[in-house]
Amino acid sequence: MRILLALVCIGCMGVSIRSAAQATDCELVLNQATDEYNAGHFYSISSILTPCMNKFTREQRQRANLLLTQTYLLLDNPEEAEKSYLKLLQANPEFTVDESRDPIDVVYLSKKFTAAPIFSISGKIGMNTSPVQVIRYEYSTGVQSKSKYSLEPGWQVGLGGEWHIRDEISLNAEVNYVASGFKVSKTGFDGDLLESTDRQNWLRVPISLKYSVAEGKYRPYGYVGLSLDLLFKDKAEIITINKSEQDGTSIETVAESPSMDFTYRRNTVNRSFFVGGGIKIKYKLDYVFFDLRYSLGLTNVVNTNTQAEFSDSQDKGDPIYRYWYTDDNFRIDNLAISVGYIRPLYKPRKLKKARTKSLFKKIEKSDDVE
């Protein structure tokens, strides 16, 4: 076993030593090509770099292709220059030319290309809570004592896709699994208490329009959208406390229900409107983001047809017949905080229309100054 472990370690070391050696060798090659470029020996540069093109690190490949782009432009070979620039963008999709440093023809060429992502994919996880908005109180006792709702923590996980309409504006679609809940308490019969803890499982499919700041390490964003919310599971547990007095002593008799299936008491298809925002933090070529979202439930979650239904099933329990529980009609909001990761799917490509207008303006401006 130890021998096997030692062999694996030696193997790994061998691979890393070989990679480091290659990188060093190719760095020498890259330096040599740069020297040739500076010496005006443009025709040899391509052949110098070719052996290392598949061995360069990402950063070296960027430098090599920039050198080739400059070289081909000087050799008046725009086709190869464009190919090299495209490869440069493939090596580093976020490469931007430095107008003060890079030759003007490279700057001009860069305006014909973009590597901006058309789509991004993301994943997120977080916590939520669900405020209940009562549409109409329903009473299971003759006394009209309103239910009181309190928040319960939940969690969510989701996957999303983003279509970048512009650098700042995108259309987002997500599929989120949301586990949420709330607690409701009711009073009746001379101070008796009822408390129900309702746990829900949702599949939410939100679609939103998002505005993001497109530059910088920290990129705030905000969005607004509609969501299709499928409530596919709902379970509740009820506790009733019967308060009484016997021989001058207060007695509380507690009855606890088993976990009861409330799915049949809920509408499966619901809708919500939501707003949210957060901040994306650049991490290498991707983003880590923190998101805060408030969803406003639009639909009555309670199935009015089964609100007082008697059930013969043990799972469903008898919330009304056994625990004097009846649902109010309500919508459910959701406040969610998430942390996630965005991977932009960069697509280096030539633009159909070059963005050279601003460049020309700059050139004209500098001519005027001179």
Please report, as ranges, the residues that interact with other proteins according to CB under 8 A: 135-136, 138-144, 165-166, 169, 171, 188-190, 192, 209, 224-226, 240, 242-247, 253-255, 271, 273, 298-300, 304-305, 307-310, 312, 314, 318, 320-324, 326, 329, 331, 353, 355
Q: How far apart are CA 307 and CA 274, in angstroms?
A: 28
For other proteins, give the closer residue by CB, 166 or 361. 166
For other proteins, give the closer residue by CB, 7 or 165. 165
C-alpha distances in angstroms, 361 versus 100, 364, 370?
A: 15, 5, 14
Q: How far apart are CA 176 and CA 171, in angstroms?
A: 16
Residue type for 151, please? L
Residue 155 Cβ vs other proteins, minimum distance, rounded to whole Å? 26
Residue 33 Cβ vs other proteins, minimum distance, rounded to whole Å? 36
Strand partners, 294: 275, 335
Token look-up 């130890």 returns 2
For other proteins, give the closer residue by CB, 38 or 144. 144
Residue 307 Cβ vs other proteins, minimum distance, rounded to whole Å? 7
Q: How far apart are CA 263 and CA 241, in angstroms?
A: 25
136's tokens: 């109409």
Residue 87 Cβ vs other proteins, minimum distance, rounded to whole Å? 24
For other proteins, give the closer residue by CB, 215 or 309. 309
Q: Which residues of 309-321 are buried (b: 16+ CB within 10 A; e: fewer)?
A: eebeeeebbbbbe
For other proteins, give the closer residue by CB, 217 or 353. 353
Residue 159 Cβ vs other proteins, minimum distance, rounded to whole Å? 21
Residue 352 Cβ vs other proteins, minimum distance, rounded to whole Å? 9
For other proteins, give the closer residue by CB, 40 or 142. 142
- Contact yes or no for 334/295 (Cβ under 8 A): yes
